[in-house]
Amino acid sequence: MKGFIYLWENTITGQKYIGSHMGSTDDGYIGSGTYFNRAIKKYGIENCKRTILEYVENCLILKEREQYYLDLYNAAHNIEFYNLKSKAGGGWEYVNGNPEFLKKMKKSVQGLWSRHDHPRGMSGKHHTEEAWDKTRTGWKIWADENLKKSVLQYDIEMNLLCEHESIRAAAKSVNGNPSNIKYTIEGKFSKAYGYKWKYKE
């Protein structure tokens, strides 16, 4: 399976975004960056120009090549780029390794509950910091066991095509939903997006 590394540039603000994709350049994939997608909604895709930095023949080195360009431009720490994270691939490291992001998320959820009834009879009540820690710990354990497992991608004849660092990365590579790939791995589906999938042992 072939892929490419791309760079989008907002022709109005000059800001850029680096990413990678397994697939063809005309399959409709744009990118998954949070700030980049906000910019598209604000300025319109017609005001963004894409440049292909490199074509990759082997999907196994796709992230390695994306990492090269992220490092080359220091994209995560460069105000001229929309990229939030310095590591190629999914955003897990940024989200769960960024105390300010977690604090902002907690405040957002608490604000939502203040405007609507809290589920399970918690309206008007507040979670203790201990409860928040247990929730975060529980989520991390679940995610480590499920979302961060390496996923192997096969063709219908069970020839290995690619290894992905997580089920989310696998879904992103085919513009798909992680749930469909998960159900295939569990045997509920025979295939998803024309491929067979397995967790790496």
Q: So where are the chain's domains?
A: 3-89, 93-146, 151-199
Q: How confident is residue 24, by pLDDT bands cut at 50, 70 and 90?
A: confident
Record: fold of 3-89: GIY-YIG endonuclease (3.40.1440)
Q: Would you say the pTM of this structure is higher than 0.85?
A: no
- Our measurement of the distance from residue 140's CA atom to the centroid of its chain's CA atoms, rounded to an integer in Å, reads 16
Q: If you ran DSSP here, which 8-state letter would residue 125 be given? A: -
What does 76-122 look like in DSSP terms, one character per residue?
GG-TTB----SSSS-SHHHHHT-HHHHHHHHHHHHHHHHHSPPGGGT
Taking the CB of residue 185, how many other CB atoms lie within 10 A of it?
19
> Is residue 93 over pLDDT 50?
no
* Residue 19: predicted pLDDT: 93
> Is residue 30 over pLDDT 50?
yes
Residues 6+ apart with CB under 8 A from 17: 7, 8, 31, 33, 35, 36, 81, 82, 83
- Our measurement of the distance from residue 57's CA atom to the centroid of its chain's CA atoms, rounded to an integer in Å, reads 22
3-state secondary structure 57-71: CCHHHHHHHHHHHHH
> Is residue 141 over pLDDT 90?
no
Of 99, 114, 95, 89, the closest CA to residue 171 belongs to 89
Q: How confident is residue 94, by pLDDT bands cut at 50, 70 and 90?
A: very low
